[in-house]
Chain A
Amino acid sequence: DTGVSQNPRHKITKRGQNVTFRCDPISEHNRLYWYRQTLGQGPEFLTYFQNEAQLEKSRLLSDRFSAERPKGSFSTLEIQRTEQGDSAMYLCASSGGIAFFGQGTRLTVV
C-alpha cells in the first residue's frame, strides 16, 4: 500500500496521559499536514511541514500539542496531558500537488 499511513487507528487514553500519533506520507510528497475532525464538522487544520521544516504551527490548539517531522519523512503529533475535549479524529495528509489523506487516528479520552 503506497498511500498515507497513520498509526494507531484507534487510541483510548485516560485524561492526563500523553499520546503520540504517527503519519507516514506518500514517499515522494514533501508536504505533510495534520488536521483534527470532530463529529459533524469538517477537518480543521493544525500544522504542516515542507520536508522537515514546520511552516505553520499557530493553529495548534494549545501548547499541549506539538508535531515533528525530523527527517522529512514520517511525522508525529503529540498531545500532552490529554483532556476530554481532545477526543476527535486526527487526520494526516500529504501532498505533492494534490492532498491525499490517511485513514486517521480516532482518539477517545476517558
Chain B
Amino acid sequence: ELKVEQNPLFLSMQEGKNYTIYCNYSTTSDRLYWYRQDPGKSLESLFVLLSNGAVKQEGRLMASLDTKARLSTLHITAAVHDLSATYFCAAPNSGNTPLVFGKGTRLSVIA
C-alpha cells in the first residue's frame, strides 16, 4: 500500500529565506500532487507532476519530481508572509485511483 511521508512537519522561516519541503512515497506512482491549505479552508491545487524530472514553478514555489528516488521537493524562494499555510503532497497508486496524502508541512513565515 502506498505511503506518503513529508518532512519537515513544521517549518518556521524568516522572510526572504529559502527552504525545501521533502515528500517521499513508498511505491511506484505515475504522478505527484502538491496542495496548499489555509486554516479552515479546503485544498488548493498548486502543482501536478507527471513524469520523472518534471519541474514546475509558480511565483516563489518550485516543485520537482524524481520517480526513481520516489521523491518530490517543494522549494520556497525568498519566503513572504503570504506563503504561510499547510502544504500537502499526495500521490495515487496509479492513474485516477484515490490520492494518498502526507501529513502536511505547516509553514509559518515570520518577519
The 8 closest A-B pairs by CB, nearest first: A42-B101, A101-B43, A45-B98, A104-B42, A103-B42, A101-B42, A43-B101, A42-B103
Judge if B25 is at the interface, Cβ distance under 8 Å. Answer: no
B68 at the interface (CB under 8 A from A): no
Contacts of A50 in B (CB 8 A): 96
Quick check: B98 and A91 within 8 Å, CB to CB? no
Set of chain A residues within 8 Å of B99, measured between Cβ atoms: 33, 43, 45, 93, 99
**Chain B residues with CB below 8 A from A42, complex form:** 88, 90, 101-104
Interface of A is mostly: strand
B109 to chain A, nearest CB (A): 19
Number of B residues contacting the other chain (C-beta, 8 Å)? Answer: 19
Asked if A62 CB lies within 8 Å of chain B CBs, one says no
B41-97 interface with A by 8 A CB criterion: 41-45, 48, 88, 90, 96
Interface centre among B44, B90, B99 (most CB of A within 10 A): B99
Cα A14 to Cα B41 with chains together (Å): 24
Q: Are B41 and A103 in contact (CB under 8 A)?
A: yes
Task: Give the distance in Å from the alpha carbon of A98 to the alpha carbon of B42 in the complex.
Answer: 16
Does A97 reach chain B (CB closer than 8 Å)?
yes
Query: Can you list, as one digit per residue, whether each of A30-44 has a CB less than 8 Å from chain B (1) or not (0)?
Result: 010100000011111
A42–B41 Cα distance when bound, in Å, is: 13
A56 in complex: contacting residue of B35, B98, B101, CB < 8 Å: B98
Contact A95 B103 (CB under 8 A): no
Asked if B103 contacts A98 (CB within 8 A), the reply is: no
